Amino acid sequence: MSLKFRGVDFIGFDALLTDDELLVRDTSRKFIEDNLIPIIEECNRAGRFPRELVKPMADLGFFGASLKGYGCAGMSNVEYGLVMQEMERGDSGVRSFVSVQSALVMYPIYAFGSDEQKQTWLPALQSGEKLGCFGLTEPDFGSNPGGMRTRARKVGKEYVLNGEKMWITSGSIANVAVIWAKVEDEDNKIRGFLVETDRPGFKAEDIHGKWSLRASVTSGLSMQDVHIPESNLLPKSGGLKSPLMCLNQARYGIAWGALGAAMSCYDCALQYSILRKQFHDKPIASHQLVQEKLTWMINEITKAQLLVLQVGRLKDKDKAGAQHISMAKRNNVWMALECARKSRDILGANGVADEYPLMRHMMNLESVKTYEGTHDIHTLIIGQSVTGIDAF
Ligand code: TGC
Ligand code: FAD
């Protein structure tokens, strides 16, 4: 049965949004409905990133949406969040692509780049003419990126990079990689570098066999004596704080995105439960146990909407702390994963079929729970914030 998404608003949440925010949300919703929903199950089955959507997404201003200048849309953080919500209602993998391009590639160039780097890269990344990736995680350093082994050595007017990065979204389709490395000549200080991916010694190999984010490209990167000009150093980057600042941007988008996945799951299960009849020709929605699951979902979605909207409003005033963003990422991804599981349950056997989006969302959200700081790492970030004690 074909179930069309109707939106989720239990307590008049939309009234908290401005006309501009609603316009951005509705434009993104229509784009996803017309362009992504019809192809996403095929992409998921085939493990294919829908590259044909890059240009139309760029044309709508989805890349670097909250940045100003360089052809970027200059959206507020709440507007950007609503784009992410709709993207991930479609698919977490496509939202991941947009997150990486925007928050993890364009943002560091915007925040830490030279004028020349900004002029060279930002318009091309905004228009989708060039794609980017962000290399922080390594095979032996995930939650603890400060231990990274990738090194940059200054030789004359060049840097020479050596190291491995692992689990890198868009790695093999990127034209430029933002690589975080320890600079040997600066007491192993972590700094960011722009590495064009066609440089000799740079290799990207896709990770196959993923049960999650199948519509997103994930790669391992290896750099063996990759020479880059000194002008490829992001001059204002310095210390682990710099990549963590990028993660704040991406985690914020994920908190909205996960909400979109949860809304997709809830609305699908709600519609199905009213149409599906079992026992005495009654809809399964008439059973208390099914209602309990639907109530849990709408309750948690509503709380998650309010949480992420408040964090967005704080971010628009430049007052959102990393701990606030951690709370929104941690809560909303956990909540979305629970919604995916409960809604899958409500659909019975149909819940495991890809005629419905539930199992795909569930599998995707397992990655979303792990990347950008695992659920437990965000627990510790919040714990550190309230106690003042580092428990990492
Ligand atoms: P620690 O000593 O606590 O901090 C080092 C410096 O950074 C500062 N800082 C932050 N600054 C900005 N934003 C944040 N969120 C920050 N958190 C910490 C801190 O104040 C300090 O500054 P300073 O001036 O004193 O030097 O560092 P630590 O080594 O103890 O680690 C802290 C920890 C565990 C929270 C951090 O390493 C962490 O967040 N780990 C998780 C790693 C992670 O999230 N990786 C994500 C990789 S990218 C990705 O997953 C992309 S998926 C994308 C997609 O497809 O959507
Ligand atoms: P580990 O750090 O080994 O953690 C394993 C388990 O141990 C987790 O449950 C964790 O919570 C727990 N743990 C670790 N330390 C502690 C502690 N101190 N206290 C309590 N528990 C702890 N990275 C990038 O740089 N760029 C990308 O584009 C990118 N894209 C990704 C795409 C996908 C599909 C996936 C799955 C990952 C991606 N990542 C990317 C990597 C991601 O950020 C890491 O997987 C994540 O940070 C966790 O690291 P890890 O997998 O090495 O797990």
The pLDDT-based confidence of 347 (bands split at 50, 70, 90) is: very high
The number of the ligand nearest the C-alpha atom of 133 reads: 2
Q: Using a 6 Å CB cutoff, which residues line ligand 1?
A: 96, 99-100, 134, 136-137, 143, 145-146, 169, 239-241, 244-245, 247-248, 250, 322, 371-373, 377, 381, 392
144 Cα: distance to centroid of ligand 2 (angstroms): 8
DSSP H helices in 60-106: 77-90, 92-99
Listed residue (87, 114, 89) closest to 101, CA to CA: 87
Does residue 2 surpass a pLDDT of 90? no
Q: Is 372 a catalytic residue?
A: yes
166-208 pLDDT, tens digit each: 999 999 999 999 999 999 999 999 999 999 999 999 999 999 9
Q: Are 342 and 300 in contact (CB under 8 A)?
A: no
The residues with which 226 forms a beta bridge, in sequence order, are 161
Look over the chain and give the mean of its residue pLDDT values, rounded to a whole number: 98
3-37 pLDDT, tens digit each: 899 999 999 999 999 999 999 999 999 999 999 99
83 Cα: distance to centroid of ligand 1 (angstroms): 25
Residue at 215: amino acid letter: A
Does residue 266 surpass a pLDDT of 80? yes
Our CA angle for 254, 256, 258, nearest 5°, is 65
Kindly report the pTM of this predicted structure.
0.98
Q: Give the CA dihedral 279, 280, 283, 288, nearest 10 degrees.
A: -70
Residues 227-232: what's their mean pLDDT? 98
213 lines ligand 2 (CB under 6 A): yes
Going by the DSSP 8-state scheme, the letter that residue 58 receives in this structure is H
The residues with which 138 forms a beta bridge, in sequence order, are 141
Q: What is the DSSP string of 143-155?
A: S-GGG---EEEEE
pLDDT at 1: 75
21 Cα: distance to centroid of ligand 2 (angstroms): 33
Does residue 228 surpass a pLDDT of 80? yes
Distance from C-alpha of 85 to C-alpha of 216, rounded to nearest angstrom: 17
Q: Which two tokens stand for residue 298?
A: 């709408």
Domains defined for the chain, CATH in brackets: 13-126 (1.10.540.10), 132-232 (2.40.110.10), 241-387 (1.20.140.10)
